[in-house]
Structure 1
Amino acid sequence: MLTIATSPVLYPLSDRAVLSLTGDDRTKYLQGQVTCDVAALEAGDACPGGHCDSKGKLWAPFWLANLGERLLLVYNRSLLERQLPELKKFAVFSRVEVEDASDRWQVFGLAGEGLSHWLNNHVGDGNLWQGGIVIPVAAEHALLLLPLDAELPELPRGDEQEWLGLMIQAGLPDMSAEHQGEYIPQMLNLQALGGISFNKGCYMGQETVARAKYRGANKKAMFVLGGKASGKIEVNQDLELQLGDNWRRAGTVLSHWQRGEDCLLTAVLNKDLEADAVLRLKDQPDSRLHLQPLPYDLVD
């Protein structure tokens, strides 16, 4: 299956969008739009979060970084077309500029044994570096955002698909445009990752997100599945759960990694799923998928 490299590797990422917020009201404005506590971030800090519609359904899960005079959001590029206009909708009433800055930033994954030691030696105190930022996302895993003219680290280059697999193993959500408007943030485990603040005040979709926590309204979560599949896996493919001799629809593929027949994927499934559950891809009847342990506790 997939294993982390024995030393740090740099993974160029082509599928990430970078949004930039500047202006005096950037923090106040974003605070009223997203699930995480933007005001709590100092320069060099970062956290996961989500941007929802008024009904609490996700436009985009993201990583947010504070560069001091600028806030950056990093997420799946396919979400940009629908999400960006929604984030900009009320910006006209504030001193903030919200723009797609993807063509001005390079996005990389960093992963491998000894990464924290490498970062201590090369980046030093804090996460700001060469006009960009290092965003820790899991143990020995990080995102690296650098301006186009920055000097790249002298590290071996890795494959983008491998990085996606490492993110799946770490239980980190990635969502494509096919799933926009389907899931509330808790269904992608954002609360377990520190991506939802329940005491910061109002934001878009906040009522639904709070109800899911305090009234137990959410019955789904994101799970990692691993196994075998001989055919190509696609986002939004139907998954089926084995019930005796029968199979019942259980969800769809959220993100995936595949090498030969070995595969890892994420899917939003019922939270009461048995640990020994067997699933398959509907259009690949011979495929078999099993739940993998999440590296964190699922909390409400």
Structure 2
Amino acid sequence: MTEIERERRAAHEGALLEPAPELGSIIVTGGDRTRWLNGLVTCDLAKLEPGGGAYGLSVAKNGKIFAEHWIVADKDRLLLAARRDRVPALLEHFDRYIMMEDVEVADASGELGWLRIHGPLAGDLVLVARGAGARA
């Protein structure tokens, strides 16, 4: 069986894990982080529990999409994954909307990495990783 055949089989019957080095990271902290970021993205973050995630977009004032991202809730922060080349624009965009909220945003691309997990057993693999101390 070739490598491609093994990966295809894993994606269709098991779980396929792949690194996502093209994704950068933004960390959002502070007591108002969820309410504040929820007003700036297209996905609903209000009901996210730690370990939960959402896919969403950031749009410009004219309504055009300028970034897609995945947001994962942690106990005391939100972790946002976006294409590395969009991270500076997202940080600038987010900074414009911090007025008096208890919120801080920071580029954590050098500290955090992302993985993609595909397949019908992907959820099981995540549970095993969490049991081993990995963050969601």
What's the TM-score, normalizing by structure 2? Answer: 0.80
C-alpha displacement of 1:22: 0.3
In structure 1, which of residues 55, 59, 67 is the aligned counterpart of residue 66 of structure 2?
59
Aligned to 2:115: 108
CA distance in 2, matches of 1:75, 1:33: 15
> Is 2:11 the counterpart of 1:4?
no
SS in 1 for 2:125: helix
Corresponding residue for residue 75 of structure 1: 82
* One-letter amino acid matched to 2:17: L
Instruction: Using CA pairs under 8 Å that are at least 6 residues apart, name the structure with larger relative contact order, 1 or 2.
Output: 2
Shift of 1:110: 2.1
Q: 1:132 to 1:122 in 2, by over 3 A?
A: closer
Gaps of 5+ in 2: none
3-state SS in 2 of match to 1:42: coil
1:132 partnered with 2:130: no
Aligned pair partner of 1:38 in 36, 45, 52: 45
Deviations 1:47-93 (CA, angstroms, capped at 9, x unpaired): 11111111211121111110020001111112123222011112142
Could you tell me how far 1:104 is from its partner in structure 2? 1.2
CA contact (8 A) 2:25 2:87 kept: no
TM-aligned CA deviation for residue 20 of structure 1: 0.6
The residue that corresponds to 1:94 in the other structure is 101
Aligned positions of 1:140-219 closer than 5 A: none
The amino acid of 2:111's aligned partner reads: R
Aligned residue type for 1:61: E
Root mean square deviation, CA, Å: 2.4
For 2:126 and 2:134, locate their aligned partners in 1 and report how far apart those are by CA, in whole Å: 16
The equivalent residue for 1:209 is none
Contiguous gaps of at least 5 residues in structure 1 = 134-300
Q: Residues of 2 paired with 1:115 and 1:132: CA distance? A: 15
Q: Distance in 2 between matches of 1:119 and 1:44?
A: 10
Give TM-score scaled by structure 1 length: 0.39
Counterpart in 2 of 1:26? Answer: 33
Alignment correspondent of 1:118: 125
Question: Are the structure 2 counterparts of residues 42 and 120 from structure 1 closer, same or farther at C-alpha, using a change threshold of 3 Å?
Answer: closer
3-state SS of paired residue (1:4): helix
Of the two, which has the highest radius of gyration? Answer: 1
Instruction: Report the alpha carbon displacement of residue 115 of structure 1 after superposing the two structures with TM.
Output: 3.1
Q: State the percentage of identical aligned residues.
A: 28
Q: How far has the Cα of 1:113 moved from its partner?
A: 5.5
Give 1:146's aligned residue: none
Task: Look up the equivalent residue of 2:133 and give its one-letter code.
Answer: Q
Letter in 2 for 1:4: R
Kept in 2, the 8 Å contact 1:4–1:113? The answer is no
1:155-184 C-alpha deviation (Å, 9 max, x unpaired): xxxxxxxxxxxxxxxxxxxxxxxxxxxxxx
CA shift at 1:43, angstroms? 1.3
Q: Report how many aligned residue pairs link the two structures.
A: 129
Give 2:59's aligned amino acid.
C
Q: Secondary structure at the match of 1:40?
A: coil
Cα separation, 2, equivalents of 1:29 and 1:13: 27
1:5–1:76 distance in 2 versus 1, CA, 3 Å: farther
The alignment status of 1:84 with 2:88, answered yes or no, reads no
- CA distance in 1 between partners of 2:123 and 2:47 (Å): 24
CA distance in 2, matches of 1:22, 1:66: 11
Cα distance in 2 for residues equivalent to 1:33 and 1:58: 12
